[in-house]
């Protein structure tokens, strides 16, 4: 048992003074990743392994044939596992990735869900993927092409009008509803951008870990905390107040303070309830809103785009980057146990009894799956285990794909047009979103649900036969677990019909155009992807589960409470989304420990 002695601090102080705990490591890490060093590492790897650029993952059977040895084994081939593997391999480590599913990519995958129709199965739109990760893994060279969406959002209103944002026309569109809101919008965006910039600076940093011990142990954390303190000091007092508001209040209250018109508040506030099973007036939802604006697409800050070929194109490019660096990848290969000897993680056992021994073990999976299923409780402190059972995980997300014979035709804006390339939000007001949450709490789902629809085939003709289309329906505010012990398996079709009927109400004829559909209830998301409670972020993005406290205070630096065991998934800083940041940051922490011979 090696649970470090955690110095408790109140969370306000944490966010006021924290900074990059691995600052001292960063310089050396970058040195390790310089092209010359990388070339050298790759050359060594080329001698040591016979992996070729075109090699595909091997199956569980091949793996089970012999006990394997590697420097580092990564549990889970989600995008963060792949990013972590690529960085570690570039630094000369022999890395093995083991993935439970038949394909790598985790929640960022593309599938043919109806004959001739392909789409992203879970994650469906890109913005948060870190530019440094894109560059370092040379994802463009490995086939990734991301395009910007010409319009941001299209929101039909309850009185038969619409709001269409992006494409250079936002101010005029907002002015249709409120001249005052149109005038206030630039200042709102500038303020949010300043805070989003701060967040962008932090996503690739390791949060200070707040451990106690000798001054030598604490030094990197102290340096990191001082650096963050300096960054915060650069904010004006007004900006610091906004930062506090965004971390502590609700999206609804924040937006009510700026604007009066319902459609604008609904378009902006939708980000506060994505994956966040809460009212838009729940404290903490303003942070979830912020979490969705720190990304960028092709240099355009805050924009959302589309990966040609769907989200699987991102993870396939990552897999190619891994293979090119010599990473060994095994699919259809669930890990059942983390091996711990003399208090140190030293490998994994797979479901078929295969053993992979390694100097270090890295987990890309949900923290609760790791600590409740794979690590023997004898190796974890009782307090840690008890807290982990209380780690909050559950989104109100119901995800569908539909194959369409034709494009939808909206009553409020008939015919084809740029609005069909936007994120189409069917939830006209924040009050509507709040009611959907209240209904879901009481009965499992609302008769007036929240649906965001994206039609990626308007930007990507590789997804559907000519003249036909695919749409992603990202529906919010169903209960992660149904009341009275009811199972989602008994209700998923009813709710899928409701989601389609909701679109049909705004675009009559939509239901008749549906040729096929794929449904992912919260239970499906848990079973298929290992997302506990269907949580799209590997755990809720609440203040008590962010930054140094993700997944738990004292383990915010990617190091688990067992020596040699690390975490690199969305259950670590900076949380969920297809960012690559946890994978990047975990690799840096692991390389720092290798250097220090820990
Ligand atoms: C419906 C939905 C919509 C979303 N939409 C978006 C979006 O549009 N844009 C965006 O940026 N983000 C989106 N997200 C969030 C984003 O997809 C996730 O936060 C992100 O994919 C997490 O990546 P990860 O690599 O940390 O984990 P995961 O993608 O969850 O990967 C973990 C991997 O571990 C594997 N695994 C689990 N247990 C084991 C085991 N015992 N042995 C071996 N392997 C195991 C799993 O099979 C999986 O492949 C969405 C998520 C969902 C579910």
Helix axes 79-90, 312-324, angle to 10 degrees: 20
- Ligand 1 atom 27: the closest Cα is on which residue? 78
Which is nearest to 73 in space by CA: 385, 374, 435? 374
Q: Is 304 in the pocket of ligand 1 (CB under 6 A)?
A: no
pLDDT tens for residues 165-182?
A: 999 999 999 999 999 999
State the DSSP string of 165-211. --TT-HHHHHHTT-HHHHHHHHHHHHHHHHHHHHHHHHHTSPPP--B
Q: Is 98 in the pocket of ligand 1 (CB under 6 A)?
A: yes
- pLDDT at site 156: 98
**Contact in structure between 174 and 185 (CB atoms under 8 Å):** yes
The alpha carbons of the chain give a radius of gyration, in whole angstroms, of 23
Rounded average pLDDT over 112-123:
98
Which is nearest to 476 in space by CA: 307, 251, 253? 251
| Distance from the alpha carbon of residue 525 to the mean position of ligand 1, in angstroms | 9
DSSP single-letter state for residue 58: B
- Ligand 1 atom 29: the closest Cα is on which residue? 106
Atom from ligand 1 closest to the CA of residue 83: 25
**Contact in structure between 399 and 20 (CB atoms under 8 Å):** no
| Distance from the alpha carbon of residue 529 to the mean position of ligand 1, in angstroms | 6
**Contact in structure between 131 and 296 (CB atoms under 8 Å):** yes
pLDDT tens for residues 441-477?
A: 999 999 999 999 999 999 999 999 999 999 999 999 9
| Distance from the alpha carbon of residue 214 to the mean position of ligand 1, in angstroms | 37
- Ligand 1 atom 48: the closest Cα is on which residue? 106
Q: Is 76 in the pocket of ligand 1 (CB under 6 A)?
A: yes
| Distance from the alpha carbon of residue 500 to the mean position of ligand 1, in angstroms | 25
Distance CA 216, CA 205 (A): 20
Helix axes 179-203, 237-248, angle to 10 degrees: 90
Q: Is 530 in the pocket of ligand 1 (CB under 6 A)?
A: yes
Contacts of residue 451, Cβ cutoff 8 Å, sequence gap at least 6: 425, 426, 427, 473, 474, 475, 499, 502, 503
For a substitution probing ligand 1, which of 292, 329, 361, 365 has the most ligand atoms within 8 Å of its CB?
Answer: 365
- pLDDT at site 231: 81
pLDDT tens for residues 237-278?
A: 999 999 999 999 999 999 999 999 999 999 999 999 999 999
Distance CA 239, CA 250 (A): 17
Atom from ligand 1 closest to the CA of residue 106: 49
| Distance from the alpha carbon of residue 423 to the mean position of ligand 1, in angstroms | 21
How far, in Å, are 185, 245, 480 from residue 237 at the CA level? 21, 12, 40
Q: How many CB atoms lie within 10 A of CB 285?
A: 27
Atom from ligand 1 closest to the CA of residue 538: 19
Q: Is 570 in the pocket of ligand 1 (CB under 6 A)?
A: yes
Atom from ligand 1 closest to the CA of residue 530: 37
Distance CA 22, CA 25 (A): 5
Q: Is 120 in the pocket of ligand 1 (CB under 6 A)?
A: no
Q: Is 83 in the pocket of ligand 1 (CB under 6 A)?
A: no
Helix axes 79-90, 35-48, angle to 10 degrees: 90
**Contact in structure between 206 and 589 (CB atoms under 8 Å):** yes
How far, in Å, are 7, 408, 424 from residue 317 at the CA level? 41, 32, 28
Query: Which range is least confidently modeled, 3-7, 114-118, 134-138, 317-321?
Result: 3-7
Distance CA 118, CA 110 (A): 7
Q: Say whether 213 sits in a helix, a strand or coil.
A: coil
Atom from ligand 1 closest to the CA of residue 128: 11
**Contact in structure between 344 and 358 (CB atoms under 8 Å):** no
For a substitution probing ligand 1, which of 578, 579, 581, 583 has the most ligand atoms within 8 Å of its CB?
Answer: 578
pLDDT tens for residues 393-442?
A: 999 999 999 999 999 999 999 999 999 999 999 999 999 999 999 999 99
- pLDDT at site 358: 98
Query: Which range is least confidently modeled, 51-55, 135-139, 586-590?
Result: 51-55
| Distance from the alpha carbon of residue 99 to the mean position of ligand 1, in angstroms | 12
For a substitution probing ligand 1, which of 73, 76, 99, 475 has the most ligand atoms within 8 Å of its CB?
Answer: 76
- Ligand 1 atom 3: the closest Cα is on which residue? 123
| Residue, of 427 and 33, whose pLDDT is higher | 427
Distance CA 203, CA 85 (A): 19
Position 366 pLDDT exceeds 80? yes
């Amino acid at each position: 048992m090696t649970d470090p002695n955690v110095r408790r601090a109140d969370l306000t102080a944490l966010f006021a003074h924290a900074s990059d705990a691995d600052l001292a490591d960063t310089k050396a890490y970058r040195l390790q990743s310089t092209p010359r060093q990388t070339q050298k590492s790759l050359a060594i790897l080329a001698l040591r392994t016979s992996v070729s650029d075109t090699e595909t993952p091997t199956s569980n059977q091949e793996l089970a044939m012999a006990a394997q040895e590697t420097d580092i084994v990564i549990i889970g081939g989600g995008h963060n596992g792949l990013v972590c593997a690529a960085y570690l391999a570039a630094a000369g480590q022999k890395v093995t990735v083991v993935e439970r599913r038949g394909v790598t990519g985790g929640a960022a995958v593309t599938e043919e869900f109806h004959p001739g129709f392909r789409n992203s199965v879970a994650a469906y739109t890109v913005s948060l993927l870190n530019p440094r990760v894109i560059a370092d893994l040379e994802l463009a060279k490995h086939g990734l092409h991301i395009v910007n969406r010409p319009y941001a959002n299209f929101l039909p209103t309850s009185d038969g009008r619409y709001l269409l944002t992006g494409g250079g026309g936002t101010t005029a569109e907002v002015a249709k509803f409120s001249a005052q809101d149109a005038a206030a919008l630039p200042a709102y965006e500038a303020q949010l951008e300043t805070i989003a910039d701060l967040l962008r600076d932090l996503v690739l940093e390791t949060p200070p870990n707040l451990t106690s011990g000798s001054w030598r142990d604490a030094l990197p954390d102290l340096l990191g905390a001082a650096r963050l303190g300096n960054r915060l000091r650069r904010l004006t007092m007004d900006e610091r107040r906004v930062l506090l508001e965004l971390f502590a209040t609700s999206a609804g209250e924040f937006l009510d303070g700026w604007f009066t018109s319902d459609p604008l508040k609904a378009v902006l506030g939708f980000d506060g309830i994505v994956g966040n099973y809460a009212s838009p007036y729940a404290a903490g939802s303003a942070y979830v809103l912020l979490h969705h604006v720190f990304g960028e697409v092709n240099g355009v800050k805050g924009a959302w785009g589309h990966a040609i070929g769907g989200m699987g194109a991102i993870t396939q490019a990552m897999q190619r980057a891994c293979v090119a660096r010599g990473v060994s990848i095994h699919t259809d290969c669930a890990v059942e146990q983390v091996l711990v000897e003399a208090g140190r993680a030293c490998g994994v056992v797979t479901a078929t009894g295969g053993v992979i021994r390694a100097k270090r073990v890295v987990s890309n999976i949900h923290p609760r799956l790791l600590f409740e299923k794979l690590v023997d409780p004898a190796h974890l402190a009782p307090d840690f285990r008890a807290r982990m059972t209380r780690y909050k995980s559950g989104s109100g997300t119901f995800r569908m794909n539909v194959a369409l014979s034709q494009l939808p035709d909206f009553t409020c804006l008939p015919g084809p047009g740029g609005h069909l390339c936007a994120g189409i939000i069917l939830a006209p007001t924040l009050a509507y979103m709040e009611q959907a949450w209240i209904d879901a709490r009481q009965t499992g789902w609302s008769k007036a649900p929240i649906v965001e629809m994206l039609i990626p085939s308007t930007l990507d003709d590789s997804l559907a036969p000519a003249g036909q289309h695919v749409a992603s329906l990202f529906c919010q505010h169903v209960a992660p677990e149904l009341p009275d012990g009811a199972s989602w398996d008994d209700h998923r079709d009813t709710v899928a019909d409701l989601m389609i009927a909701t679109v049909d109400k705004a675009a009559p004829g939509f239901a008749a155009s549906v040729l096929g559909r794929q449904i992912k209830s919260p239970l499906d998301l848990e079973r298929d992807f290992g997302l506990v409670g269907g949580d799209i972020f590997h755990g809720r993005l609440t203040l008590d589960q962010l930054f140094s406290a993700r997944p738990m205070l004292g383990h915010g630096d990617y190091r688990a409470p067992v020596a040699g065991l690390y975490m690199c998934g969305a259950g670590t800083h900076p949380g969920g989304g297809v960012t690559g940041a946890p994978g990047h940051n975990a690799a840096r922490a692991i390389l720092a420990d290798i250097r220090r011979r820990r």
